[in-house]
A and B are shown apart, each in its own frame.
Chain A
Amino acid sequence: MPQIKIYQEDEIPSPMRRFWHAFSENPFAFAGLWTVICFLLLALFGPLIAPYAPEQQDPHALLLAPSWDAAGTVEHFLGTDDLGRDIFSRLLHGAHLTFGMALGIVLASLALGFIIGSISGMMKGLKSSILSHLLDALLSIPSLLMAILVVAIMGPGLENVFWAVGIALTPQFVRAIHQAIHEELQKEYVTAARLDGANQFQIFWYVIMPNIWDTLIIQTTLGISAAILDIAALGFLNLGAQAPSPEWGAMVSQGMDNLLTAPWTVTIPGIAILCCVLAINLVGDGLRSALSPINN
């Protein structure tokens, strides 16, 4: 005898579940997520699986073409550069410099930006506007100019990239969080909580915070892709990672000398950067469209 449904016991999925469902329905975003996970694993374990050391020079294989070319060999899968260094190994060793450092910078500036942004967002009047305008001034200095200033003071080097990109990114987080909190503060449910007697901290943490997580997440993905592009651009201009370093932007600039005879020394690191940033942007796009129906 078939069971008859007497009560409507429809399970209502939680917001988190609905969000995950909406996200995983988008194949592009899902592919992006897998690619990002792969890059994360490479950043952590890349040096372990790399066949050669990043600075190891093979004098018998200078400017070797990638393996799919007739002149290439499979020992050097993606070819070698003008000093006979294996490009594949260098890419693997560089993953934690470019991608890993971008993550580190974004985490650090997110933490700082979150604190300043929430303080300035919860404050009202002159104090809030001074704090946010001060950061607008910093925001208007492009990351490259900030890097030039930092390099002028501390000299070029990979650790200075951390400061340059971090200082350039922090105001963006502050601004995004400030605006999100400011917008939520105008809404009626916040007034309702205030009428119930909630203090400033309770309003911030229990009332507003759950509603601005999505802004935070989206801003973080944007920040990571911007950080990767900035690190690579600084490496390319020789202001960041210096010559023997396998940072991807620096690899492009080292390949510049052989651009005409061996274009793969420039093309392959560039494609690595492109794939990495594209995957992060795909995830960010998927997150945004998965979060928007919940918001509306």
Chain B
Amino acid sequence: MARYLLRRMNLFVATSLVLLSVLFIATHHFPVEIRFALTGIHAPTVEQIAQIDEDYRLESNQLGQFIGYLEQRVTGNLGISATSQQPVTDELAAVLPASFELAIVAAVLALLFGIPLGVLASMSKNKITQHTIMTITLTGYSIPVFWLGLTLSLWFGVQLGWLPISGQLNLLYEIEPATGFVLIDTLLSDSPYADSAFIDALQHIILPAVTLAVLPFTVVVRSTRSAIISIMDKTYIKAAEARGLHTSRIVLRHALPNALIPVLKNLGLMLGTFASYAMVVEVIFSWPGVGAWLVSGIYQRDYTVIQGGVLAVALIIIFLSIMIEVLHTAINPLSRKELYAAN
């Protein structure tokens, strides 16, 4: 296992290097002066130019420049934002928690409703129930997320007036950011209005989280269903049936844990798509996360923000997909067979 983990670590480093070199090449093709693209300083003084040239090794050849670029980026220097003149790292630290909050709530929603519905769809012998569930999931899979977000905010936000449709928290509440997660911050806050602020934050997150949860929900339902259907034919299920166990026990104890392995794998493969969807959802609901920040960065041609955001999001996705792969290997002894055989 240690050797396997080491190999995955290698993979992470190698993939990050490839990613950084893609960004390095892209940076050199931005239609602006290279020093501005690298640091975001608009009109550098002579000393600043000398400093930039030294930091990024602009005098040396391409490889030397790449090494300089790597040094700066790996040590956390992402330059300053051209529009706000703040360090990109600080801005990133401010927007990332909001994105994580939204993603976690959406993932919990998707798993909480997706797995039971998937089990139900696989157990049901009724054609109509099966077809209804499959039609709903296929529609959810095909729906354009921006249109879904607009339609939901039009119905529930404007026409019915039930839920707020933009932002994270009503501006009336003044909550000290402690963790960056508004739901936790409002609970931790000692302001007299903390409870109502928490309810307000909860109301704000419902619409974006539901919009974002639709795609993972359909993926979970469909893969749970197909996994359980294929597992129910296995001999060990027949053995459990022959022992006279109750159906619910067979499904929950014997089939479901094995069925969740392919679900995990499918979710890992869809991470990139989820990230794209999350960015669109953040733009629609003015959620102050990394997606909305990046899209406003591209509107303003803020090249340091674009580099920093792309780097951060892609690194997170690489990290998560490798983590999912490791988890998949750890809980699934069968996948280790090929691993050892290959060595």
Chain A residues proximal to chain B, CB less than 8 Å = 28, 133-134, 136-145, 148-149, 151-153, 155, 168, 225-226, 229-230, 232-233, 236-239, 249, 252, 256, 259-260, 263, 266-267, 270, 273-274, 277-278, 280-282, 285
Contacts and interface: CB of A to CB of B under 8 A. Distances in A.
A273 B144 contact: yes
Contacts of A239: 298
Contacts of B298: 148, 151-152, 239
Nearest to B20: A137
Contacts of A277: 142-144
Nearest first, the 7 closest Cβ-Cβ pairs linking A and B are A270-B147, A277-B142, A144-B276, A137-B18, A278-B142, A142-B272, A137-B15
6 contacts: A138-B22, A233-B276, A237-B146, A238-B299, A263-B154, A274-B147
A282 B338 CA distance: 34
A259 B272 CA distance: 30
Interface in B301-321: 301, 303, 306, 309-310, 313-314, 317-318, 321
B151 A142 contact: no
Contacts of A278: 138-139, 142
Given A148-B306, A153-B29, A266 B150 contact: yes
Given A134-B18, A226-B273, A278-B139, A153 B31 contact: yes
B146 A233 contact: yes
B19 interface: yes
A190 to B, nearest CB: 16
Nearest to B28: A153
A144 B279 contact: yes
Given A237-B283, A252-B147, A274-B144, 14 more contacts: A141-B317, A142-B276, A143-B273, A145-B309, A148-B306, A148-B310, A149-B26, A152-B303, A152-B306, A233-B144, A259-B154, A260-B154, A267-B151, A270-B144
Contact of A140 (B29, B144, B145, B272): B272
A229 B144 contact: yes
B314 A249 contact: no
Majority secondary structure of chain A interface residues (helix, strand, loop or mixed): helix
Interface of B: 11, 14-16, 18-19, 22-23, 26, 29-31, 135, 138-139, 141-147, 150-151, 154, 158, 271-273, 275-276, 279-280, 283, 294-295, 298-299, 301, 303, 306, 309-310, 313-314, 317-318, 321
Contacts of A152: 26, 30, 298, 301, 303, 306
B69 to A, nearest CB: 16
Contacts of B22: 137-138, 141
Contacts, number: 138
Contacts of A153: 26, 29-31
A149 B19 CA distance: 12
A35 to B, nearest CB: 12
A190 B299 CA distance: 53
A168 B186 CA distance: 39
A28 B139 CA distance: 13
B15 A273 contact: no
Contacts of A230: 276
B259 to A, nearest CB: 17
B143 A252 contact: no
Nearest to B272: A142
Contacts of B31: 153, 155
B171 to A, nearest CB: 22
Contacts of B19: 137, 140-141
A139 B272 contact: yes
Contacts of A274: 139, 142-144, 147
B146 A236 contact: yes
A140 B276 CA distance: 11
A142 B290 CA distance: 14
A145 B147 contact: no
Given A153-B26, A229-B144, A259-B154, A137 B318 contact: yes
A266 B158 CA distance: 15
B141 A281 contact: yes
Contacts of B142: 225, 274, 277-278, 280-281
Contacts of A267: 151
Contacts of A280: 142
B154 A233 contact: no
A237 B280 contact: yes
A282 B146 contact: no
Contact of B272 (A28, A141, A263, A285): A141
B138 A141 contact: no
Contact of A273 (B135, B138, B141, B147): B147
Nearest to A235: B146
Interface centre among B139, B142, B299, by most A CB within 10 Å? B142
Given A142-B275, A144-B276, A237-B295, A249 B318 contact: no
A239 B147 CA distance: 16
Contacts of A136: 11, 15
B276 A148 contact: no
A140 B273 contact: no
Contact of A249 (B15, B144, B271): B144
Nearest to A277: B142
B310 A259 contact: no
Contacts of B147: 252, 266, 270, 273-274
B280 A142 contact: no
A260 B294 CA distance: 27
B272 A143 contact: yes
B273 A133 contact: no
Given A137-B318, A140-B321, A260 B26 contact: no
A267 B275 CA distance: 24
A25 to B, nearest CB: 14
**Most chain B CB inside 10 Å of its own CB: which residue of A133, A233, A252, A260:** A233
Contacts of A273: 144, 147
